[in-house]
Amino acid sequence: MNIQQAKQIPLLEALAKLGFKPQKYTGQLNARYISPLRDEKEPSFEVNVRMNTWYDFGTARGGDLVNFIQELYGKNISDALDFIKNTFSNQQFTANSSEIAYEKKNTPKIIINEAVSFSNPALIDYLAYRKIPLTIANYYCREIHYHSHNFYYKAIGFKNDRGGYELRSEKFKAKSCNAITTLKCSQSNNLDVFEGFMDFLSYRVYCKTSKLTNTTIVLNTLTNLPEAISKLKGFNNINLFLDNDIAGVNAKEQVKALFENAHDYSSIYEGYKDFNAFLQKRFSKNQCFRSR
């Protein structure tokens, strides 16, 4: 068995065979486990079913099935492949069997009806609470009208690379599908990386301009860091604006260990969990510009 063959084995099914069961589900295609790699009480080990990858929020490490077996049993790549061959070679897997099973378990999905400019008073008030001006919100986001379980809702929507949306309102957080968001800027060969879109919008407020100054990746969840890492090559500088919690700090260290040109800018909002928390506390209403 080679690495590519091992990567085709669905992680959900491999984990189940090894005795690990998901504790809950987040988003449309994410399963959350008590970490098999360390002791913990709250589940923070997540599997992205679509990408067939895992990410441990407590250690900021992740990867595919081969990487998982290496971490779990302390094996090198060759021994990990032998273990996978001996453990799973008689299993019958289909390429997307885990995703199909997951989607059946978690239907109905969020269905997007339309994406429009902001007019809903509750969403506009929520943006004001988060100190995000409408000029910036309308530049990067849309008011999303969607339905699920035959109920209709409205939310702030931030589009991702799969054409789906991150969805936010005062009391609700979800996504129509999971992916990173890439925003390209041809005028610069630098890259800015954010964990969530509210932090990205907050940075635009901080910079007092709607327009991008660098190409930008918004992870939308730290689970997507392994996917994003493959896109970080080729930039002059990688500017990190990740959260100041344990998972964010570990993620920064992981990126910096892989890329010498990665720089941590979380000192801007030192003492706050993230950029938006800093913006809410430190910026008064008249400091949040209205147009540029």
**Domains, the chain, with CATH or none:** 3-105 (3.90.580.10), 111-287 (no CATH)
pLDDT of residue 240: 98
Say if residue 126's pLDDT is above 80. yes
Say if residue 90's pLDDT is above 70. no
CB 219 within 8 A of CB 256: no
Say if residue 238's pLDDT is above 80. yes
Q: How far apart are CA 188 and CA 15, in angstroms?
A: 42
* Tokens 């939308």, located at residue: 220
Q: Give the pLDDT band of residue 291 (cuts 50, 70, 90).
A: very low
Q: Per residue in 25-59, is it b (16+ CB within 10 Å) or e — as a string? A: bbbbbbbbbbbeeeeeeebbbbbbbbbbbbbbbbb
Q: Give the pLDDT band of residue 287 (cuts 50, 70, 90).
A: low
Q: Where are the beta strands (DSSP E) in the chain?
A: 24-26, 30-33, 45-48, 53-56, 61-63, 111-116, 141-148, 151-159, 165-169, 172-175, 181-183, 190-194, 215-218, 237-241, 262-264
Total residue length of the chain: 292
- For the stretch 135-153, pLDDT in tens is 999 999 999 999 987 789 9
Q: Give the pLDDT band of residue 173 (cuts 50, 70, 90).
A: confident
CB 54 within 8 A of CB 46: yes
User: What residue type is assigned to position 243 of the chain?
Assistant: D
- For the stretch 196-218, pLDDT in tens is 999 999 999 999 999 999 999 99
Q: What percent of the chain has pLDDT over 70?
A: 89
